[in-house]
Amino acid sequence: ASSSPSQTRTTGDLEKRFPPMAKLLVTFSPRLTTTTVVAAVVLFLSCFGFATAAKRPRGFLVSERPAPVLRREKLSHFRFYWHDIVSGPNPTAVPVARAPSTNASATAFGMVVMIDDPLTEGPE
């Protein structure tokens, strides 16, 4: 098997310094291509990431303060009554806009009503 002049020269230089390893290094030395460099960087970053994550058993926990004790919320119940007057001389609820389909709707869908109702704490 013939080899190129650069390999012969490299092999000769290596044989002078490291005789048993010279042929092995020249034969199996990878070429530095873009793919090789990218693969090496990805491998390095992956190993670095795993090594850093292994040092922290809790992963990406930001704070180790104890959780705050939750207190029961104070709830308030409001009951109030609207007093609508929809007809008569002084109505308190007056339609101000209607959709074209409001008259055909059983629920008065599309009607906008303006109210001026008194609020009370009881039904009277």
* pLDDT tens-digit series, residues 67-96: 777 888 888 888 878 788 888 898 888 889
Is the per-residue pLDDT at 65 higher than 80?
no
Q: In this predicted structure, what is the pLDDT of residue 31? A: 60
Residue 85 CA: distances (Å) to CA of 3, 47, 67, 94, 123? 106, 76, 53, 9, 14
3-state secondary structure of 116: coil
Report how far residue 38's alpha carbon sits from residue 36's, in angstroms, rounded to the nearest whole number: 6
Residue type, 15: E
Q: In this predicted structure, what is the pLDDT of residue 8? A: 47
Is the per-residue pLDDT at 45 higher than 70?
yes
> The whole model's pTM is what?
0.32
Report how far residue 102's alpha carbon sits from residue 113's, in angstroms, rounded to the nearest whole number: 12
- Residue of 89, 88, 84, 90 lying closest to 115 (CA atoms): 84
Is the per-residue pLDDT at 21 higher than 60?
no
Report how far residue 89's alpha carbon sits from residue 55's, in angstroms, rounded to the nearest whole number: 81
Q: Which residue has the higher pLDDT, 50 or 103?
A: 103
Please, which pLDDT band fits residue 43 given cuts at 50, 70 and 90? confident
Please, which pLDDT band fits residue 24 given cuts at 50, 70 and 90? low
- The answer to which of 12-16, 67-71, 86-90, 113-117 has the lowest mean pLDDT is 12-16
Cβ neighbors of 58 (< 8 A, separation 6 or more) are 64
Query: Is the CA virtual torsion 94, 98, 102, 108 positive or negative?
Result: negative
